Chain A
Amino acid sequence: MTDVVATAPAQITPALRARRELPTWRLLLRRPSFVIGAMILLFWIVCAVFGNAIAPHDPLAQNLLSINKPPSAAHWFGTDSLGRDVLSRVIVGARTILIITPLATLLGTVLGTALGLAMGYFGGWLDTLVSRLVEAVLALPAVIIAFLFIVALGASITTLIIVIGFIFTPLIARTVRSAVQVERQLDYLSSARLLGERPMRIMFVEILPNVIPTVVVEFTVRLGYAIFAVATLAFLGFGVQVSTPNWGSDINASYGLLGAGFWWTTLFPALAIAFLVIAINLVADSVQQAAAG
């Protein structure tokens, strides 16, 4: 029997009629981790958009007379095996990743949320069936699934977006499903049913708004994993085969030379990836903290 009078929570913090709204920009701006992360992210976005204007040299310009030169005054990051300026390639290389990853994550989030809502709300055979499928698929490491699909479908921007989006869908669906199951315990859903509301409306108008904070957090977290995935695939040789420079592909082309001591062509793109990922992670973490408290 649980007829607990509302005493416990009020005792720890004096009874607040608190306005607990969505994380406001002001809350986020107060966090140093958010500010740092956002600034780094902004830097890369600028690079992606204005890359060609900022880069000191043409990233595509080959110069077979000065291949594999270490960093110097003329080329801060050195040159690669075709004489191209590494710094310029790093700057412009932001573009591909920053196009693919948000779109892929968005796709996965939208599909995953819809699936999670359905699984959590309807339960029953739908939930069991899809859960079994998801578990079977998740037995395999994501990177294997990803490259199996890419091998089959070829690596283009569209396929990368679709494949990564599809891989994220079950992961996000799982989280959304848990959140929906928490909501199902609450009485407002019974109230909605008693009004004769239809399931679609209940899922999207009643449950979804309460689940949005979870979705937002998932989105920001998965963004980091999307970069992980795109970069990894590029490293394995499945980078987008276009002429624009691509961090992962550049590493793929040059890591064999590491043993011989040619480190700059590999290290700088790698560091670029690292910084981007950390930046997104700081932002995601701040959003998570702000949403929780």
Chain B
Amino acid sequence: MTGPGQADRAGQAPATSIEPAASPTTLQVSHVDVKYRVRGRDRLALHDVSFHIGRNESYGLVGESGSGKSTMALALTRYLPRNGRVSSGSISIGGRDPLAMNRSALRDLRARTVSMVYQEPGKALNPSIKVGRQLGEVFEIAGSDKADAALRSEAMLRTVQIADPGRVMDAYPHQLSGGMAQRVVIAMALAASPSLLILDEPTTALDATVEAEVLDLVAGLRDKLDTSVLFISHNLAVIAKMCDRVGVLYAGELIEEGPASEVFDQPRHPYTVGLLRCIPRQGQRKDHGRLDAIPGFLPQPGDQLAGCIFAPRCPIAVQQCRDAPPPAFDVGPGRTSRCYRHDETSGLPRSTPADVQLPAPATSAEPVVTMRNLSKTFASKGGHVAALAGVNLDLGLGETLGLVGESGSGKTTLARLLLGLTAPDQGSAISLDGKPLGADLAHRGREQLKALQIVFQNPDSALNRRHTVRRLISRPLVKLAGLSGTALQDRLMSLVASVRMEERHLSLRPSQLSGGLKQRVAIARAFGGSPRIVVCDEPTSALDVSVQAAILNLLADLQAKERVTYLFISHDLGVVRYLSDRIAVLYLGRIMETGPADRVFAGPHHPYTEALLSAVPSLDGQRRTRIKLAGEIPSAASPPSGCVFHTRCPRRLSSGICESTEPPLAEVEPGHLMSCHIPLDELRIMQNIGASDDNRAPEP
């Protein structure tokens, strides 16, 4: 039996989801406004937000930065900073109103009814108190004594699948890995059996394989413990995987809501459409089925807009949209959309072309960069840490090599060695155009410096905040290209145009620019000296999804125009697949697999690649069966013997060869190299067993 406004697991509520529901609803948010007081003025962070979460239901709140999603979480537990307040609307958790409570009732609410899990798990735990005590505290608040709390804590740790609970109880937070720490935090959150669990970007700081396990854990526990979940994230794929229903936040307003699968398959708001078009899906490549950017910028806080908040950036906005803000229209069972033209959202016009002609990378025989036996060892407290061990890799002219790996894989070290920021170990050799490259910057000539440049992940860190944009872009022109006078000016202006910036940006400083603009400055700077190879180190990871697409396409266009080679490092497999011609997979400082992008993604692939691909949530639904990896990533200070992956490999051979001998990086198909003892044909059979469950053919 479903009451008004209450959605059951199948998502078929008969009425709109805004009407106040009966008390079995776990969370009810009605027309909530949240304001912050900044420099004497009120700024609206959330406006007229209404949604509800039923019992045992999982609700996703999706948005980019500035959408207000974390503000919502803080408001629910009344943990807004001093300058923030809920200025109107009402909140009801399990029938109680947190905004009207006195302090002891609020404490009770936080202890028993609502729990939160945040981003960086290591920091969420008190570094000076043992884990067991911190977990036990939750039980003590609920009335247990110390001994009882200790027992229940240990049991709770087992529930979150920590193998050795006794050891963890006695440990300090800094002794735990990220994944383990997040499990402890989840244990603390669920210990009091709350009716509402709020997760705010809980896996953003974790590796892909660890993330998958934590998400599986949360999904499993939710079923078992009958808890409602509010899942906040910028990652649509994760939300699609974890949530029954989803609400999309844009600039503080809930612009669309509905069952997750429906909203992502058939979005009914132009922003949602735009957002989905920014995320690389299967079949999309840099020249075919391109990502589409959302033009314009987020509204500035304090901007008073008369009409729809998305109107300035909307491709189908009309006068009506600009005059009055649209109400939440009913567009289906349990679905709403704040758009006058919600019927016209399929077939929304794009702002950039879907297909472009990009020259294919030259298939000339000679690679432009060769790396042989590249190793880097760091001396550390416990001995030596081999960040990279005997890596052999080539970069071809004009191609994009995607470098994939989790933490400890050595991908950043590889980039730094290539650029000369650190010197490799003895016996390593890097050559550029057949000539050996100096070990570090001090040993490289100007031509070699010119040839290799980088775009860093975080533009706030990569641009000197005291310099103007003009100076930042001009410096390489002076130093590397040796330009001056009018030649300098001309080249400067053409660079600015090629990254689609304007002259007026030149006199600004980085702090006055948005994230996307800053990254464009970084790109312009990298291309200033006409490099041959550009290392892109997670260039879009620190940016919003909507900005990401524009930057990726810009990188692809620049590559075509300037005929540069990219070493593209990313943890985001979707982005890597979109942009790369070839892929290299790193694990614990060694190459597991190299080959053309389509071959590596389609399979058969190295067992590690297989696990990685299965771990990444995708908007296209789960095509692959989840390959769970045993244990954690081993410490680089004591790598496993033989094949370094054998400790976690689900396909480990019973003959024992995987433990004893390190497999060579061998060519298993033309252009496709793998470091695995299992022959390619056997892998094909093993991995196809999983793939044949679906009826879809392997994608190109």
A–B interface present (Cβ within 8 A): yes
- B420, B453, B513, B541: the one contacting A3 at CB < 8 Å is B541
From 397 to 449 in chain B, residues with beta carbon under 8 angstroms from any chain A beta carbon are 406-407, 419-421, 441, 446, 449
B670 close to A (CB within 8 Å): no
Assess whether B301 is in contact with A6, with CB atoms less than 8 Å apart.
no
Q: With A1-B178, A15-B301 given, is the CB distance from A194 to B454 under 8 Å? A: yes
Q: How far is the CB of B542 from chain A (nearest CB, A)?
A: 5
Assess whether B119 is in contact with A4, with CB atoms less than 8 Å apart.
yes
Assess whether B71 is in contact with A194, with CB atoms less than 8 Å apart.
no
From 175 to 197 in chain A, residues with beta carbon under 8 angstroms from any chain B beta carbon are 185-188, 190-197
Assess whether A195 is in contact with B70, with CB atoms less than 8 Å apart.
no
Assess whether B205 is in contact with A4, with CB atoms less than 8 Å apart.
yes
Cα A18 to Cα B66 with chains together (Å): 14
Assess whether A1 is in contact with B542, with CB atoms less than 8 Å apart.
no
Assess whether A6 is in contact with B542, with CB atoms less than 8 Å apart.
yes
Q: How far is the CB of B206 from chain A (nearest CB, A)?
A: 7
Instruction: Specify which chain A residues have a CB less than 8 angstroms from the CB of B454 in the assembled complex.
Output: 190-191, 194
Assess whether B458 is in contact with A187, with CB atoms less than 8 Å apart.
yes
Cα A192 to Cα B441 with chains together (Å): 11
- B36, B65, B74, B441: the one contacting A5 at CB < 8 Å is B65
A17 close to B (CB within 8 Å): yes
Cα A285 to Cα B250 with chains together (Å): 41
Cα A2 to Cα B234 with chains together (Å): 16
Instruction: Specify which chain A residues have a CB less than 8 angstroms from the CB of B119 in the assembled complex.
Output: 4, 7-8
Give 6 closest A-B pairs by Cβ, nearest first.
A15-B66, A11-B70, A1-B407, A209-B466, A14-B301, A187-B462
Instruction: Specify which chain A residues have a CB less than 8 angstroms from the CB of B44 in the assembled complex.
Output: 14
From 156 to 189 in chain A, residues with beta carbon under 8 angstroms from any chain B beta carbon are 185-188
B697 close to A (CB within 8 Å): no
Which has the most chain B C-beta neighbours within 10 Å: A5, A196, A197?
A5
A244 close to B (CB within 8 Å): no
Cα A11 to Cα B73 with chains together (Å): 10
Q: How far is the CB of B397 from chain A (nearest CB, A)?
A: 21
Q: How far is the CB of B34 from chain A (nearest CB, A)?
A: 10
Q: How far is the CB of B79 from chain A (nearest CB, A)?
A: 11
Q: With A6-B65, A195-B480 given, is the CB distance from A19 to B464 under 8 Å? A: no
Assess whether B234 is in contact with A7, with CB atoms less than 8 Å apart.
yes
B543 close to A (CB within 8 Å): yes
Instruction: Specify which chain B residues have a CB less than 8 angstroms from the CB of A10 in the assembled complex.
Output: 65-66
Assess whether A3 is in contact with B538, with CB atoms less than 8 Å apart.
yes
Instruction: Specify which chain A residues have a CB less than 8 angstroms from the CB of B513 in the assembled complex.
Output: 17
Interface string of A9-40 (1 = CB under 8 A from B): 01111111111100000000000000000000
Instruction: Specify which chain B residues have a CB less than 8 angstroms from the CB of A127 in the assembled complex.
Output: none
User: A14's closest neighbor in chain B, by CB?
Assistant: B301
Sample of 25 A–B contacts (CB below 8 Å)? A1-B207, A1-B407, A2-B205, A4-B119, A4-B205, A5-B201, A5-B234, A5-B543, A6-B542, A11-B65, A14-B38, A14-B43, A14-B66, A15-B301, A16-B300, A187-B456, A188-B463, A188-B464, A190-B456, A191-B454, A193-B441, A194-B441, A194-B452, A196-B449, A210-B464
B2 close to A (CB within 8 Å): no
Assess whether A17 is in contact with B446, with CB atoms less than 8 Å apart.
no
Interface string of B12-27 (1 = CB under 8 A from A): 0000000000000000
Cα A17 to Cα B69 with chains together (Å): 19
Assess whether B206 is in contact with A19, with CB atoms less than 8 Å apart.
no
Instruction: Specify which chain B residues have a CB less than 8 angstroms from the CB of A17 in the assembled complex.
Output: 300, 512-514
Q: How far is the CB of A214 from chain B (nearest CB, A)?
A: 13
B638 close to A (CB within 8 Å): no
* Chain A binding surface, main DSSP class: loop
Instruction: Specify which chain A residues have a CB less than 8 angstroms from the CB of B571 in the assembled complex.
Output: 1, 3
Cα A2 to Cα B206 with chains together (Å): 7
Instruction: Specify which chain B residues have a CB less than 8 angstroms from the CB of A3 in the assembled complex.
Output: 204-205, 457, 538, 541-542, 571
Cα A293 to Cα B252 with chains together (Å): 26
B520 close to A (CB within 8 Å): no
Cα A191 to Cα B525 with chains together (Å): 9
Instruction: Specify which chain B residues have a CB less than 8 angstroms from the CB of A11 in the assembled complex.
Output: 65, 68-71, 74
Instruction: Specify which chain A residues have a CB less than 8 angstroms from the CB of B541 in the assembled complex.
Output: 3, 5
Which range holds the interface residue count of chain B?
35 or more
- B420, B464, B529: the one contacting A206 at CB < 8 Å is B464
B475 close to A (CB within 8 Å): yes
Cα A20 to Cα B207 with chains together (Å): 34
Q: How far is the CB of B525 from chain A (nearest CB, A)?
A: 7
B387 close to A (CB within 8 Å): no
Which has the most chain B C-beta neighbours within 10 Å: A14, A188, A191, A210?
A14
- A1, A188, A192: the one contacting B205 at CB < 8 Å is A1
Q: How far is the CB of A114 from chain B (nearest CB, A)?
A: 18
Cα A192 to Cα B476 with chains together (Å): 9
Instruction: Specify which chain A residues have a CB less than 8 angstroms from the CB of B204 in the assembled complex.
Output: 3-5, 7
Instruction: Specify which chain A residues have a CB less than 8 angstroms from the CB of B38 in the assembled complex.
Output: 13-14, 16
Instruction: Specify which chain A residues have a CB less than 8 angstroms from the CB of B301 in the assembled complex.
Output: 14-16
B298 close to A (CB within 8 Å): yes
User: A183's closest neighbor in chain B, by CB?
Assistant: B464
Assess whether A15 is in contact with B298, with CB atoms less than 8 Å apart.
yes
Assess whether B406 is in contact with A1, with CB atoms less than 8 Å apart.
yes
User: A16's closest neighbor in chain B, by CB?
Assistant: B301
Assess whether A196 is in contact with B511, with CB atoms less than 8 Å apart.
no
Interface string of B194-234 (1 = CB under 8 A from A): 00000001001111000000000000000000000000001
User: B302's closest neighbor in chain A, by CB?
Assistant: A14
Q: With A8-B119, A15-B301, A194-B449 given, is the CB distance from A188 to B462 under 8 Å? A: yes
Assess whether B512 is in contact with A19, with CB atoms less than 8 Å apart.
yes
Instruction: Specify which chain A residues have a CB less than 8 angstroms from the CB of B525 in the assembled complex.
Output: 191
Instruction: Specify which chain A residues have a CB less than 8 angstroms from the CB of B456 in the assembled complex.
Output: 187, 190-191
- B446, B457, B466, B511: the one contacting A18 at CB < 8 Å is B511
Instruction: Specify which chain B residues have a CB less than 8 angstroms from the CB of A1 in the assembled complex.
Output: 178, 205-207, 406-407, 571
Assess whether B201 is in contact with A7, with CB atoms less than 8 Å apart.
yes
Cα A197 to Cα B301 with chains together (Å): 40
Cα A186 to Cα B462 with chains together (Å): 7
Assess whether B81 is in contact with A12, with CB atoms less than 8 Å apart.
yes
From 198 to 224 in chain A, residues with beta carbon under 8 angstroms from any chain B beta carbon are 206, 209-210
Instruction: Specify which chain B residues have a CB less than 8 angstroms from the CB of A206 in the assembled complex.
Output: 464
Q: How far is the CB of B238 from chain A (nearest CB, A)?
A: 12
Which has the most chain B C-beta neighbours within 10 Å: A2, A13, A192, A195?
A195
Q: How far is the CB of B98 from chain A (nearest CB, A)?
A: 19
From 448 to 475 in chain B, residues with beta carbon under 8 angstroms from any chain A beta carbon are 449, 452-454, 456-458, 461-467, 475
Q: With A5-B204, A8-B119, A191-B454 given, is the CB distance from A20 to B542 under 8 Å? A: no
Assess whether A194 is in contact with B45, with CB atoms less than 8 Å apart.
no
Cα A8 to Cα B457 with chains together (Å): 17
Cα A19 to Cα B511 with chains together (Å): 7
User: B458's closest neighbor in chain A, by CB?
Assistant: A187
B479 close to A (CB within 8 Å): yes
Interface string of B294-319 (1 = CB under 8 A from A): 00001011000000000000000000
Interface string of B74-112 (1 = CB under 8 A from A): 100000010000000000000000000000000000000
Q: How far is the CB of B444 from chain A (nearest CB, A)?
A: 8
B515 close to A (CB within 8 Å): yes
Cα A182 to Cα B86 with chains together (Å): 37
Cα A195 to Cα B419 with chains together (Å): 11
Instruction: Specify which chain A residues have a CB less than 8 angstroms from the CB of B419 in the assembled complex.
Output: 194
Cα A6 to Cα B464 with chains together (Å): 19
Q: How far is the CB of A19 from chain B (nearest CB, A)?
A: 6
Instruction: Specify which chain B residues have a CB less than 8 angstroms from the CB of A210 in the assembled complex.
Output: 464-466
Instruction: Specify which chain A residues have a CB less than 8 angstroms from the CB of B45 in the assembled complex.
Output: 14
Cα A2 to Cα B201 with chains together (Å): 13
Instruction: Specify which chain A residues have a CB less than 8 angstroms from the CB of B480 in the assembled complex.
Output: 195-196
Cα A20 to Cα B43 with chains together (Å): 18
User: A3's closest neighbor in chain B, by CB?
Assistant: B541
- B120, B406, B479, B542: the one contacting A197 at CB < 8 Å is B479
Instruction: Specify which chain A residues have a CB less than 8 angstroms from the CB of B462 in the assembled complex.
Output: 186-188, 191
User: A12's closest neighbor in chain B, by CB?
Assistant: B81
Interface string of A118-153 (1 = CB under 8 A from B): 000000000000000000000000000000000000
Assess whether A196 is in contact with B458, with CB atoms less than 8 Å apart.
no
